[in-house]
Structure 1
Amino acid sequence: MTAMMMMKKKKKKMMMMMVIMMMMIMTMITNIQ
């Protein structure tokens, strides 16, 4: 995944990227339901 690559490149904002990914996953799950 591109997000994983970005996370590895930008270690400073790893937490931010993880939070964004979690939010995106939650939105996807909500849309499916």
Structure 2
Amino acid sequence: MKSITIVQIIQFAAYICGKTTQTFLYSWSGTLMTSK
């Protein structure tokens, strides 16, 4: 098993944050659309 670099950790964290934000925005905008 190769060692994990700081860069890989940052890239992985950024990827997770992006996915979470994307999912949140989609569900939030969907709620706004249906509530009107």
Fold in common (TM above 0.5) = yes
**Deviation of 1:21 (Å):** 0.1
Provide structure 1 residue ranges, at least 5 long, that are not aligned to the other structure: 1-10
Report the identity percentage.
Answer: 9
TM-score, scaled relative to structure 2: 0.56
TM-score, scaled relative to structure 1: 0.60
Shift >6 Å, 4+ stretches = none
Provide structure 2 residue ranges, at least 5 long, that are not aligned to the other structure: 30-36
| Equivalent residue, structure 1, for 2:17 | 21
In structure 1, C-alpha distance between the alignment counterparts of 2:11 and 2:28, rounded to whole Å: 26
Query: How many residues end up aligned between the 2 structures?
Result: 23
Greater Rg, structure 1 or structure 2? 2
Pairwise CA RMSD: 1.4
